Structure 1
Amino acid sequence: MDRTRFFVRVSAIYALIGSFMGSHMAGGGGSQLSAVHAHILVVGWLSLFAFAIFYKVFSIPKTSKLASFHVWSSFIGVFGLTTGMWLYNTQPIEGIETLNLIFFIVGGTILLIAFVCFAIMAFVHGKFISEE
């Protein structure tokens, strides 16, 4: 799998969703979903794009299990957090409020684990990270 291409494409989707939400909120005059909009842009677009740049700039081995775990936990965590936030804030289906909250918390926790994994990877694969 090309990690850079994957992260750039997924981040582009989040950029479109976040931009659309911002336009919709601006046009409609409501800001009820501004936290969801901000998280979609920050963790969905910016973080995933930054990870794409990281994998493009530094030669992290393609066989790294840590890098593979980072890619998938980032993807699942961003999806879970942003979707969970949206579900929690909009409550589109009556009677599943607890499930919405669990989705939100589990997604956020997986994303936190992805960021911890990224920090660990910066040290484990430190020899590949240089200005040369």
Structure 2
Amino acid sequence: MDRTRFFVRVSAIFALIGAFMGSHMAGGGGYQLSAIHAHILVVGWLSLFAFAIFYKVFSIPKHSKLATFHVWSSFIGVFGLTSGMWLYYTQPVAGMETFNTIFFIVGGTVLLFAFICFAIMVFVHGALISED
């Protein structure tokens, strides 16, 4: 799998969703979903795009289990956090409050593990991260 291409494509989708949400909120004058909008843009667009640049600039081994875990936990975490936030704040289906809360928490926790994994990876593959 091309990690850079994957992250750039997914980040582009989150950028479109975030921009559309922002445009819709501004046009309608309702800012109730601004926290979700901000998280979609920050963790969905900005963080995933930054990870894409990281993999493009530095020669992290293609078969690194740490990198593979990072890629998938980032994707699952961002999707889980942002959709969980939407479910939690909008409560689109009555009686699903507990599920929505758990979905939100699990998504955020998976994303936290992705960031922890990234920090570990930076030190494990530190010799590959250089200006040379």
TM-score, length of structure 2 as denominator length? 1.00
Note the alpha carbon deviations across 1:10-36, whole angstroms, 9 max, x for none: 000000000000000000000000000
Using the aligned pairs only, state the percent identity: 85
Secondary structure at the residue paired with 1:32? coil
| CA–CA distance in structure 1, aligned partners of residues 127 and 10 of structure 2 | 28
Cα distance, 1:127 vs. partner? 0.8
Q: Which runs of 5+ in 1 are unaligned?
A: none
Equivalence for 1:128 = 128
| CA–CA distance in structure 2, aligned partners of residues 52 and 104 of structure 1 | 25
| CA–CA distance in structure 2, aligned partners of residues 63 and 112 of structure 1 | 22
Paired letter, 1:70: H
Paired letter, 2:116: V
Cα distance, 1:52 vs. partner? 0.1
Cα distance, 1:95 vs. partner? 0.3
Equivalence for 2:40 = 40
Paired letter, 2:76: I
Equivalence for 1:113 = 113
Asked if residue 79 in structure 1 is aligned to residue 73 in structure 2, the reply is no
TM-score, length of structure 1 as denominator length? 1.00
Q: Which runs of 5+ in 2 are unaligned?
A: none
Cα distance, 1:6 vs. partner? 0.1
Secondary structure at the residue paired with 2:94? coil
| CA–CA distance in structure 1, aligned partners of residues 99 and 32 of structure 2 | 21
Equivalence for 1:90 = 90
| CA–CA distance in structure 2, aligned partners of residues 8 and 17 of structure 1 | 14
Note the alpha carbon deviations across 1:27-61, whole angstroms, 9 max, x for none: 00000000000000000000000000000000000
- The total of aligned residue pairs comes to 132
The 5-angstrom pairing of residues 1-20 of structure 1 reads 1-20=1-20
| CA–CA distance in structure 1, aligned partners of residues 83 and 63 of structure 2 | 30
Cα distance, 1:126 vs. partner? 0.5
Equivalence for 1:49 = 49
